[in-house]
Amino acid sequence: MVKVFSEIGIDVDYYIPNRMEEGYGLDKKAIDFMKKRNCKLVITVDTGVNSIEDVKYAESLGIEVIVTDHHKSTKDKEDEELLLLNPKLSDTYEFKYLSGAGVALKVAQGVYEKLNADMGKLYQYMDIVMIGTVADVVPMVDENRIIIKEGLKILSKTKVKGLMYLLKYLKFQNKEINTTDVSYFISPLINSLGRIGVSKMGADFFLKNDEFEIYNIIEEMKKSNKKRRELEKAIYEEADHKIKKMDKKSLKCAFLYSKKWHPGVIGVVSSRLSVKYNMPIALVALRDNIGKASCRSVKGVSVFNIFHTMKDKLVRFGGHDLASGFIVKQENLKEVERIFKENIDEIKVEQEEKILKIDMELPIEKIDENLVLVNIVGVEKKEIKNDFEEYPYHKVRKGEYLNKIAKDYQKRPAKLVQINELKNPNLIYPKQKIYLEKKKSIDIEKIPKYHIVQRGENIISIALEYELDWKQILRLNSLESVTDIYPGQKIVLK
């Protein structure tokens, strides 16, 4: 928003709270700072919808406030006069799943349209909106899909100097970048500054043009990201150990806290644990008699609503139904834990009838190697060199089916199914190798014990390389998902 407003001559500055010192969102300290800078108007981005008292405080000082946010709101009727731009609060705006960056884009579009400004100056920075949308993990549908598609196009020829240098560091400058690259390489580096480092540097990264400054920011990103991974691993292991010691039969949730935990990474950890144990997880980082919590939940259990029932016990709270956080004084922590667990105990999660959602009909002949491996799995299949290569095979051509191949080589279709271990003989794809003779078993001794993860790899691509079962690799390494790895990580293969 700073960038696109500056493009059309609007006098604009920015303030980003330090996550460790101030927590999230708008507060009186930030407002007092802005008042000293003679600020007339504050526009929040991705925050503020539940900072009603702070907004009223700013207005009492003569500062107008426009809140742009996409989080769930606790707004009361008496707050109707406040200017809150949030798709979840709108009766007329149909799409409710914009990210915080997406809502900011809408505000910028409105300003540009009102001033008859050149929209090209706005849309040249769609790559920034795209990164924010992907990082926010919002549904990739409707407007979000358009934002991501157009943003990826812009990213390959970005005008943001910080992104130019980051793509060079990641060796992405000549690569066709996809959402996996953004999710697992670009956004974690940028986010690490807010989680571990100095939050303001994240904005500086997009705004600065000095090469030396950008280089220093990227170096700080690398350090922060490394530290984030180390902290995340330590917190995960400690919290997981505590949960394992609990009585699983009656366990419906976990509410854990520690003075050793870093508030910037507990959200990621609580998310992983919630997926692992399929229950709500609340982790609280304690410091200076204040607890900063991050909670992840499961379908049917709104932690946001639970926190709303005890808002008088909290300094503040906010988020979504399945991902919320709060700040609490340590003296109230035990009471908050009690109320949290009591609410979880009272909720009866009904088993919903499973519904298969079908996006479209797709003929078998349209399913090829590129669709399955790149668009669905998210990997580029490597040419695998192994002991199979000496055996005769047929490379499937477009439109071919197994019965025809069997007839051409005077083989029984059932035999080809057996040789190639095909689960569905109708599901073969162009360029697939159909072996015509029984393959030799892999020599397990030739497979190395470890594999060092390279940039762009995930568990499925590694399994394909060594002809191994990807699920077995997940189990051997205690991983939650095929993308739960990072470059340089040592993966056990056997």
* Interval 468-485 mean pLDDT: 78
What whole-number distance in Å separates Cα of residue 270 and Cα of residue 272?
A: 6
Cβ-contact 66, 43 below 8 angstroms: yes
- Does residue 368 surpass a pLDDT of 80? no
456 and 483 Cβ atoms separated by less than 8 Å:
no
Is the pLDDT at 16 greater than 90? The verdict is: no
Question: pLDDT value at position 20?
Answer: 65
Token look-up 């020599």 returns 443
Give the type of residue at 76. D
Confidence of residue 160 (pLDDT cuts 50, 70, 90): very high
Which residues does 174 contact at the CB level (< 8 Å), separation at least 6?
Answer: none
Work out the average pLDDT over 249-260.
Answer: 89
Which residues, including other chains, have CB under 8 Å from residue 340's CB and lie 6 or more apart? 253, 255, 282, 306, 310
At residue 381, the pLDDT reads 38
pLDDT digits (tens, 9 = 90+) for 203-218: 899 999 888 898 899 8
Give me the residues paired with residue 43 across strands. 66
- pLDDT score recorded for residue 243: 92
Neighbour tally for 101: CB within 10 Å: 24
Q: 62 pLDDT exceeds 70?
A: yes
Q: Which two tokens stand for residue 284?
A: 């609280």
Residues present in the chain in total: 494
Secondary structure class of 425 (helix, strand, coil): coil
Better pLDDT: 112 or 396? 112
Percentage of residues of the chain with pLDDT beyond 90:
25
To the nearest whole number, what is the mean pLDDT of the chain? 82
**378, pLDDT greater than 70:** no
Cα 165 to Cα 48, 128, 145, 160, 341: the distances in Å are 32, 14, 26, 9, 47
Average pLDDT of the segment spanning 463-491: 78
Give me the torsion for CA of 467, 473, 475, 479, rounded to 10°. -140
Output the pLDDT for position 211.
87
Closest CA to 87 of 109, 66, 105, 103: 103
pLDDT at position 183 is: 87
Rounded to the nearest 5 percent, the helix, strand and coil shares of the chain are: 45, 10, 40
- For residues 80-92, give the mean pLDDT: 82
**Average pLDDT score over residue span 108-131:** 93
What tokens does 27 get? 């507060």
Q: Can you read off the two tokens belonging to residue 490?
A: 């040592």
Which pLDDT score is estimated for 438?
67
